[in-house]
Amino acid sequence: MNGTGALVRLVLRRDRLIIPLWVVVIAVLPITQTSAIAELYTGEQELRRFAESFGANPALQSLYGPITHWNAAAMGTWRAGFTPVILALASLLTVIRHTRVEEETGRRELLGSAVLGRHAGLTAALVVTAGANLAAGVILALSFVSQGHPVAGALALGSGYAALGLVFAAVAAVAAQLTEGAGGARGFALSALGLAFLLRMAGDSTGTAWLSWLSPIAWGQRMRPFAGEVWWPLVLSCAVTVLLTAVAYVLADRRDVAGGLLPPRLGPAGAAAGLTSAFALAWRLHRGTLAAWCVGVGLFGAVTGAATKAATDTMAGNSQLMAIMVALGGTTDMSDVFLAGLVGIFGIGVAGYAVQAALRVRAEEVAQRGEPLLATAVSRVGWAASHLVFALLGPAVTLVVLGVCVGVAYGATVGDLFGHVPRLVGATLAQLPAVWTLAALAIALFGLAPRLVGVSWAALAVFLLFGQVGAVLDLPQPLLDLSPFSHLPKLPGGEVSALPLVVLTAVAAALTAAGLYGFRRRDVG
């Protein structure tokens, strides 16, 4: 354990931007959902009707879990039912990042030769992640208390979130001991999270309680915040966390630094005939992520598409809500309004993918894997472009998959299987200019100010917040207009004007060109 304190400070320094960012974004989402619902559905009757009809919808249940009560706080936390999964995801990635990735890059060996206990790295990663989860829980609870919601419910909600984050931090700690590479460990921990989600989904949508109970994601919901709190699931989460952490430490004792418990797999002795260009290499590096995004977006698109009709049927009974939605969405067709909102949220998500894909080229450069390539007959622009193709076309593929899946699933519920597909593919593709603008911002930073590439993530987070809470917080319009997403048409259903799309695309093209120009002129490394 020697040196854990120093490592904790190191981890905090390296993550001083990203951890506060996800802690705050995750912690404020439930209260914004609650406030939005409280504003839209006034009075017991409307809330009750909303709860009953939504609660009866299997697709929504599978996505968010069961509705426990019809008060605004319970409904808001239900509506934010996917947020704890994001918290678990962030925790898991943080732990892997500060254990396995460190070992893979050899940094840990460097530090390990200084006076560090052999568990210091694992402990530091767990301490920081636990701290972040507790902070998220506290902010979450305080946000509800400050809005006048019951203290007990706020506490149950906050502790349920933090406990889930801790469980998956511990899962990641175990995964980090099993495989040799960071990729393998990440895949292992992500599969565990995916399995937990699927178990809860299957259990809740079919009403099979024991299936749900197998999933840590359900435990926080079963604490019934704002619906007659039940505290003992918290004991379950804590016990599992402690158990998994103990397992991780035992496993850590049995392996070498940078080694794994599972034997590494062997690859081919020579390259396939196709691996002849920088682009072929980029395809190898990007294809897994692209496939994962397509599958993920397709699944969630299908689930929400299938839930659209039921959701809009109930909204149609609420005249006040109708008025607001029409104002927001510019159309009177409720299902179009709902779908447009959905497409907008996915657009931000896909922009996250685009930024990540664009910054892969910078990650390669920092890892010194660009240098050997650029020392061959690969030009700088050729190398950068091999990655940027995925940042620009990858999102297009993902959005088409989204449009098709939402369209077919929605079509199935309204008895027109393929009729809505073209409309929805058009709607999802309309997100592309804004997605490109963000990817292009990352490219521009890569070329002109490579040390500041993290700014593109900050911009994405700010635009996400603008979209989620901008209207609620009454932020000034010129500020909101900074977000490229605010200029997109509300599709399907809304009016399309070509000008903003053309302007955004032109901005993206200019930023991309500037980035490539800068990269041609600057030092590599």
Q: Lay out the site mask for another protein across 100-119 (x = CB under 8 A, - = otherwise).
A: ----x-x-------------
- Distance, in Å, from the CA atom of 120 to the CA atom of 11, rounded to the nearest integer, reads 12
CB 186 to another protein: min, Å: 11
Residue 255, Ramachandran bin (φ over 0: left; ψ between -120 and 50: alpha; else beta): beta
CB 371 to another protein: min, Å: 6
Q: DSSP letter string over 98-157? A: IIIIHHHTTHHHHHHHTT--TTHHHHHHHHHHHHHHHHHHHHHHHHHHHTT--HHHHHHH
- Distance, in Å, from the CA atom of 400 to the CA atom of 477, rounded to the nearest integer, reads 31
Tokens of 134: 């507790």
Indicate the residue type of 78.
W
| Residue 280 or 316 having the CB closest to another protein | 280
Q: Lay out the site mask for another protein across 488-507 (x = CB under 8 A, - = otherwise).
A: --------------------
CB 525 to another protein: min, Å: 6
Indicate the residue type of 382.
G
C-alpha torsion sign, points 67, 68, 71, 75: negative
Residues 6+ apart with CB under 8 A from 389: 279, 282
Residues 6+ apart with CB under 8 A from 95: 125, 126, 129, 169, 172, 173, 176, 189
C-alpha torsion sign, points 200, 201, 202, 204: positive
| Residue 52 or 109 having the CB closest to another protein | 109
CB 366 to another protein: min, Å: 10
The footprint of another protein on residues 165-184 (CB under 8 A) is: 180-183
Span near another protein by CB under 8 A; candidates 277-285, 290-298, 324-332, 434-442 = 277-285
The footprint of another protein on residues 75-104 (CB under 8 A) is: 104
The footprint of another protein on residues 361-420 (CB under 8 A) is: 367-369, 371-380
Residues 6+ apart with CB under 8 A from 363: none
Total binding residues toward another protein, as defined by CB under 8 A: 41
CB 104 to another protein: min, Å: 6
CB 462 to another protein: min, Å: 30
With the CA atoms of 351, 357, 363 and 365 taken in that order, what torsion angle do they form, in degrees rounded to the nearest 10? -130
CB 278 to another protein: min, Å: 7
| Residue 14 or 522 having the CB closest to another protein | 522
Of 13, 148, 232, 265, which one interacts with another protein (CB under 8 A)? 265
| Residue 194 or 525 having the CB closest to another protein | 525
Of 2, 191, 208, 277, which one interacts with another protein (CB under 8 A)? 277
| Residue 16 or 284 having the CB closest to another protein | 284
| Residue 324 or 374 having the CB closest to another protein | 374
- From first CA to last CA, the distance across the chain in angstroms is 34
CB 101 to another protein: min, Å: 10
Closest residue by Cα to residue 215 from 306, 84, 33:
84
The footprint of another protein on residues 7-46 (CB under 8 A) is: none
SS3 state of residue 209:
helix
The footprint of another protein on residues 280-319 (CB under 8 A) is: 280-281, 284-285
- Distance, in Å, from the CA atom of 207 to the CA atom of 136, rounded to the nearest integer, reads 30
| Residue 181 or 426 having the CB closest to another protein | 181
Of 256, 474, 495, 523, which one interacts with another protein (CB under 8 A)? 523
Q: Does 345 bind another protein (CB under 8 A)?
A: no
Q: Which positions touch another protein (CB under 8 A)?
A: 104, 106, 180-183, 264-272, 275-278, 280-281, 284-285, 367-369, 371-380, 521-525
